[in-house]
Structure 1
Amino acid sequence: MAATGGSGRSTVASLLASGLASSGHTVVFDLAPRLSSPWPSRTDGQGADGLAVLPPDQPLTRSAVQYACSLNTAPDGSRWQVLTDGREWHTRPLALPEPPAAWYQLAAIGGWQAVIADTVHPLAHDILASRCAGEVGQTRGWYELPYTLPVLCAAATAHGIHALQQAVMALNAEGLPLQRTVVVLVATGDGRPPAAVRAGATMLTARTAAVVHLPYDPNIRAHGLHIPAARLRTRTRQAAAQLTGAVFAAAHATWGQPLPAAPQPAPISPAVPAL
């Protein structure tokens, strides 16, 4: 999740999926509208049917969900999947379900061991808006799913760290568990982070599970999610490994080791019209 756009969410999701793939069956759920998401172009040409063939109001089988996914390869050769809307740009936009519980249901049907949701909702705004409306917002909905570890992304700039700090204050005010929240600061250029970013990282280290610095990688800037794993800088791979380790450490600290099996949601029966 992130407080603003341009925070490196999809890059972080890709690196984390590569890191988790060696430990279990892993997928990235793309929650963004098709024409604003980088994932459809990454999966183009694989022939995967994508989200369009998974109607949210109809029963689904595991084979149908798996068939809808595209494949990616981690640096160690492990495979991980992406579930996105891979149709042509001019097709009618999908009405994707907003409640996180719907995506958890889909994850259970697909049978993955690790699921990364690449969200698009603005974190702090969602918390404030849901509080004012007296509703359960998307952010709280994600936090309250079983065995969920939020990863907060922010650009390593003065504006990015300010937006992140506001989001963390909002999370704290809502009583959401920062102790199992991992923060990723995504560098936008070479060199030492600005003083505001360094100070913010120090503050966040004491309040969250971990703060990971993702260094600038010109290959990612040039190729986006299309970059082959072998083209990543060594520093980028090291940061990705640190991120994966931080996620596992937070999970083990919260739920123990080995990690328990996640609960299976009850099947949703299709509506039966009255006669």
Structure 2
Amino acid sequence: MSYAFPPGGLPDQSQNPESTAIFTQAYAVIPAVTQRDIVTSFLPGWQNARVWVLARPLSGFAETFSYYAVELDEEGGSAEPEPDRDAQAVIFLAKGQARLTLGHDTFDLIPGSYVYLPPSAVWTMYNIHEDPCQFHWIRKRFRPSPGLKVPDALITHESEVEKASMPGCNGTWATQRFFDPFDLSYDFHVNIVNFEPGARIPFAETHVMEHGLYVLQGTAEYLLNTDWVSVGPGDFIWMRAFCPQACIATGTEPFRYLLYKDVNRHMPL
């Protein structure tokens, strides 16, 4: 299984700067071709590391999460990775290998490893090999609710999570849900959504959840508000609440993406 990641580098001077990048009031598309070396950030507390910040809270747009794509060179990582004690996170490893410590336990992560880190978790993460380690890091401030506990940490691999088929599609549209959807202690989900070629979301979903969507594999035509947009590996889509959305998988291989959404809480008034 392969998982797309920002390509880095820099196009040569013969390239036309026009691209498929889009930023509107309802959605944004940050294509892989724009995820280059010169747009990376560096974070306090991290060494031999660079970050593509693909989403951050913006008033009037998507407001609940940040989405990082992080690359660690040899011996890169952090002993104090998260500055916000109220932040929770999902880490999904795309390439390379990493060593995660969580409390007194140590875990070696490989491509496809999935980690949920609850707020106030004590953790570290380092690249343990010569080759770069690349992972997705999705952060959200936890919203407690009376009677609900803080979720426990979770470390698994996507191969251990079954695909739940959507009704009436014969398995061509299926979701790997890493959290129990009926466990209201979680206030966000990060899933992998899978489409076989030709499969589709057959209506324009229009809902309160915000989305951050990173294409791991394959291609599709994606409906965003009133626009159809072609997307492929490494493209990132950022949708505000109530942006109409649908897709039709194209090409000859599965279309798969990592999907964030906020769930399970009353709306602040």
- TM-score, normalised via structure 2 length: 0.33
Q: Which has the higher contact order (CA 8 A, sep 6+)?
A: 1
- TM-score, normalised via structure 1 length: 0.33
Which structure shows the higher strand fraction?
A: 2
